Amino acid sequence: MTLFVDADSCPRAARRLVIRAAERTQTKAVFAANRPIPDVPDGALFCMAVCPQSQDAADDYITRMARAGDLAVTRDVPLAERLVQKSVAVLDDRGRLFNADNIRALLSIRNFTVSLAENGVQNIRHSNYGNKELKAFADAFDKQLARLKGE
């Protein structure tokens, strides 16, 4: 099992939680982004995959490398859809689990929101990331990690 993190959009606190969990469970963690992420440690358990600057390069890398039974963290709904289709467990950084039952509806909402923003009707904004959001992520992440590890 491998942990994959869409690292350029993942809050530092969530990345740190993944790092601690990887160390605790001795699980490989791959952080993918189009630039180096400074808080990713060196070591046998960790990989910082610096992808080309092209759009979706990190998403393509994660999709190519992830396998059924892995766990990914991303807030990118189109990436989540690609991973769900490969039977990868996917969480966003707020603890929402993407799965076959909800991914199409979430993708539809995302596409509608992006369309509104592109037409100047609505700005896409993410609310602050605080202790409440981190706790929700930690709880969901630990639950999925334990499930996938068979604990």
In the chain, what is the greatest distance between 2 CA atoms, to the nearest angstrom?
Answer: 48
**CATH number of the domain to which 123 belongs:** 3.40.50
DSSP state of 40: P
Q: Which domain holds residue 65?
A: 2-149
Cα within 13 Å of Cα(65), Cβ side: 22
Cα within 13 Å of Cα(137), Cβ side: 25
Instruction: Domain count for the chain, please give it.
Output: 1
For 95-147, how does the pLDDT look when each residue is reduced to its tens digit (9 = 90+)?
A: 999 998 887 776 776 666 766 666 776 665 666 889 999 999 999 999 999 99
H-run or E-run covering 46: strand 46-50
For 34-86, how does the pLDDT look when each residue is reduced to its tens digit (9 = 90+)?
A: 999 989 998 999 999 999 999 899 999 999 999 999 999 999 889 999 999 99
pTM for this prediction:
0.87
Across 51-80, b (16+ Cβ under 10 Å) vs e yields: beeeebbbbbbbbeebeeebbbbbbbbebb
